[in-house]
Amino acid sequence: MENRTWNTSYRGPLLIHASQAMEENDFPVQREWIKTLNQYLIAGDESPIVIPEDLPRGAIVGSATLTNVYSDQWWQRSYYQKIGKGVSPWFEGPYGFEMADAVEFAEPIQCRGQLGIRDISDALAARVSKMIAEARLCK
């Protein structure tokens, strides 16, 4: 789930860009959820989730397919919300972009980010296609 303040009718492939700036205390709800989950993982002898200190910044880090967009109103009315199951700690709204076929690139592609969905150059498209193919071969 990718949280956004805006809606889109677009569905299809997207590149995932990591912003240049990130604060240590960004995403407090998700960080608390990870702490809670880690208690169960450690108790069950599983490895905890670790947020790396050296996340790539200012780069395209992968790709995914945008399959649906959910709104706060839909989320609040949904069956899962009413019965208390399926509540995602990742959904903050007002819109949540549902993604599929996510691919992490082996090497981030340094690129200045911009808000919104836009077309990319042919040169970048060729480079991205190669990275997606390589990532899928490694699975």
Contact present, 55 and 22 (Cβ < 8 Å): yes
Distance CA 19, CA 14 (A): 15
Distance of CA 1 to the CA centre of its chain: 6
Distance CA 65, CA 12 (A): 5
pLDDT per residue as tens, the chain (139 positions): 777 889 999 999 999 998 887 776 666 777 787 888 888 788 878 888 887 777 888 999 999 999 999 887 665 556 455 545 555 666 777 888 989 999 989 899 998 888 889 999 999 999 999 988 888 787 6
Can you list the domains of the chain with their CATH numbers?
2-21+57-137 (2.30.130), 22-56 (no CATH)
